[in-house]
């Protein structure tokens, strides 16, 4: 654990888990109601009868508070997947992503515009929410290289995580085109695996 993370954890230890959950739920409600700009320390404090100073002491910034709330709520899609083959791993990732995306998609859309406009939010989300998923996908590919399923110099390797996560984000913009729940499995079988030269 980094010094910064340890310090933050020590500060938050004064808040009970139940109280922390209440604060996070208030953040989520505000995000759903009006997006990132609707979340303020004052608004969260008012909804939860919590002192604004307490919020700043525990999380430091709005970006850190929002990121913590999103991280607490999200489901890890890809961590822990290991079926023994790359095709199996990516298909399981597709299944999980397809079954869970509606739960997180609305909230991620609520912060998507702010993500590009607020560097502090972008950094916090990358560290807490995005990078662990990218690392899990990269680990699937690393194991596949070790097993000899794909060549280490295959240029498609570097595009797997961005394409996979990009599909989860872009699908909602093309609902009529990608309305079927099996979309992510088709994407894996018809795009990713052929690019990696893995038999479908």
Q: Does residue 109 share a domain with residue 135?
A: yes
Q: Does residue 28 share a domain with residue 114?
A: no
Model pTM above 0.75: no
Total residue length of the chain: 200
Q: Does residue 118 share a domain with residue 48?
A: no
Given 50, 72, 94, which residue is the final one in a domain? Answer: 72
| Per-residue confidence (pLDDT) for residue 49, from 0 to 100 | 93
Residue 162 structural domain: 75-196
| Per-residue confidence (pLDDT) for residue 6, from 0 to 100 | 43
| Per-residue confidence (pLDDT) for residue 105, from 0 to 100 | 61
Q: Does residue 103 share a domain with residue 184?
A: yes
Q: How many domains are there within the chain?
A: 2
- Number of other CB atoms surrounding residue 82 within 10 Å: 12
Q: Does residue 67 share a domain with residue 155?
A: no
Given 72, 98, 130, which residue is the final one in a domain? Answer: 72
Give the span between the Cα atoms of 33 and 105, in whole angstroms.
Answer: 15
| Closest CA relative to residue 138, chosen from 98, 165, 112, 168 | 165
| Per-residue confidence (pLDDT) for residue 103, from 0 to 100 | 56
- List the chain pLDDT tens, one digit each, 200 residues: 444 544 454 444 578 899 999 999 999 999 888 888 899 999 999 999 999 999 999 999 999 999 898 888 766 678 899 999 999 999 999 988 877 655 556 666 777 778 888 888 888 888 887 888 899 999 999 999 999 999 999 999 999 999 998 887 776 667 666 656 688 899 999 999 999 998 76
Q: Does residue 105 share a domain with residue 53?
A: no
Q: Does residue 134 share a domain with residue 68?
A: no
The CA–CA distances, whole Å, from 23 to 38, 105, 126, 134 equal 15, 21, 22, 28
Q: Does residue 102 share a domain with residue 183?
A: yes
Given 72, 105, 127, which residue is the final one in a domain? Answer: 72
Q: Does residue 159 share a domain with residue 117?
A: yes
| Closest CA relative to residue 140, chosen from 155, 160, 154 | 160
């Amino acid at each position: 654990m980094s010094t910064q993370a340890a310090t933050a954890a020590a500060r938050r230890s004064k808040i009970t888990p139940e109280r922390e959950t209440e604060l996070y739920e208030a953040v989520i409600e505000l995000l759903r109601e009006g997006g990132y700009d609707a979340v303020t320390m004052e608004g969260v404090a008012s909804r939860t009868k919590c002192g604004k100073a307490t919020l700043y002491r525990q999380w430091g910034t709005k970006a850190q508070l929002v990121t913590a709330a999103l991280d607490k709520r999200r489901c890890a899609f890809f961590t822990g997947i290991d079926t023994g083959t790359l095709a199996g791993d990516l298909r399981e990732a597709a299944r999980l992503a397809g079954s869970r995306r509606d739960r997180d998609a609305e909230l991620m859309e609520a912060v998507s515009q702010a993500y590009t406009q607020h560097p502090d939010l972008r950094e916090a989300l990358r560290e807490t929410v995005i990078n662990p998923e990218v690392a899990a996908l990269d680990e699937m590919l690393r194991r596949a290289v070790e097993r000899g399923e794909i060549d280490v110099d295959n240029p498609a390797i570097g595009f797997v995580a961005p394409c996979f996560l990009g599909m989860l984000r872009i699908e909602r913009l093309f609902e009529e085109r990608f309305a079927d729940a099996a979309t992510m499995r088709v994407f894996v079988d018809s795009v990713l695996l052929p690019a990696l030269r893995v038999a479908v």
